[in-house]
């Protein structure tokens, strides 16, 4: 129904897609899912499952699994064309929005449960000297993770424009910090 895909991916796209597949497997996302998403990010037009499978040389069912996973991560939107029943998928325009979603999902799935385990451990009564030390360490880890979580939440609430501005401060972060310290009178 919609025009064919010619060579599917240019050599440039192939390299980047392959790299993101590689990255994906290092970050606990499977290679195929990483490749699918990279392809959708790089592709000008939305793609259907058959096109994705053909471009990446994977089975239709594997594409379906991958899309299901990406969907559960809230990283896809779908488009339909008149006279064509197929679903066409694409990635958000705003690359920062993608990053925000990734951070938020990852936190929800991995950091939050760990924080909960750490909190449980902190509620318990130490059984011996070893537990006393362990709790000290658990407390440190808990605080660290909670603080980083809070910062990431802050980041996620900034608009893309604000974020860009913040990041452009670059080497100025330490200075802003010192300044703020003086401002509020905190040491």
> Given the rule CB under 7 A, which residues bind DNA?
1, 25, 30-32, 48-50, 57-62, 64-68, 84-87
- Among 62, 73, 88, 155, interactor with a second copy by CB under 8 A: 155
* Least distance (Å) between residue 75 CB and a second copy: 14
181-184 — which CB contacts under 8 Å span 24+ positions?
A: none
Element of type H or E holding 25: helix 11-26
Query: Is the CB of 1 or the CB of 183 nearer to DNA?
Result: 1
* Least distance (Å) between residue 17 CB and DNA: 13
Paired tokens of 136 = 């000290």
* Least distance (Å) between residue 140 CB and a second copy: 4
Q: Where are the alpha helices (DSSP H) in 27-128?
A: 31-42, 49-56, 60-72, 95-106, 112-123
* Least distance (Å) between residue 52 CB and DNA: 10
Rounded distance between C-alpha atoms, residue 158 and residue 99, angstroms: 12
Q: Are 103 and 152 in contact (CB under 8 A)?
A: yes
Secondary structure (3-state) at 184: helix
- Among 99, 101, 105, 107, interactor with a second copy by CB under 8 A: 99
Q: Does 95 bind a second copy (CB under 8 A)?
A: yes
Q: Are 81 and 2 in contact (CB under 8 A)?
A: yes
Out of DNA, a second copy, none, what residue 160 binds, judged by CB under 5 to 8 A for its kind, is none
Element of type H or E holding 152: helix 129-157
Residue ranges that bind a second copy, judged by CB under 8 A: 10-13, 15-16, 19-20, 23, 25-28, 41-44, 95-96, 99, 110, 113-114, 117-118, 120-121, 124, 126-131, 133-135, 137-138, 140-141, 144, 147-148, 150-151, 154-155, 157-158, 162, 164-174, 176-177, 180-181, 186
């Amino acid at each position: 129904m919609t025009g064919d895909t010619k060579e599917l991916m240019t050599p440039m796209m192939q390299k980047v897609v392959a790299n993101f597949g590689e990255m994906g497997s290092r970050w606990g996302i499977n290679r195929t899912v990483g490749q699918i998403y990279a392809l959708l990010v790089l592709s000008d037009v939305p793609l259907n499952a058959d096109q994705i499978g053909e471009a990446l040389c994977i089975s239709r069912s594997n594409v379906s699994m991958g899309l299901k996973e990406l969907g559960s991560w809230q990283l896809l939107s779908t488009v339909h064309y008149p006279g064509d029943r197929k679903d066409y998928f694409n990635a958000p325009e705003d690359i920062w929005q993608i990053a925000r979603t990734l951070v938020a999902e990852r936190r929800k799935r991995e950091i939050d449960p760990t924080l909960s385990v750490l909190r449980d451990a902190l509620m318990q009564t130490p059984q011996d000297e070893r537990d006393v030390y362990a709790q000290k360490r658990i407390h440190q880890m808990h605080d660290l993770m909670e603080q980083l979580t809070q910062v990431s939440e802050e980041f996620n609430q900034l608009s893309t424009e604000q974020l860009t501005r913040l990041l452009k401060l670059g080497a100025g972060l330490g200075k802003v910090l010192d300044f703020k310290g003086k401002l509020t009178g905190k040491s």
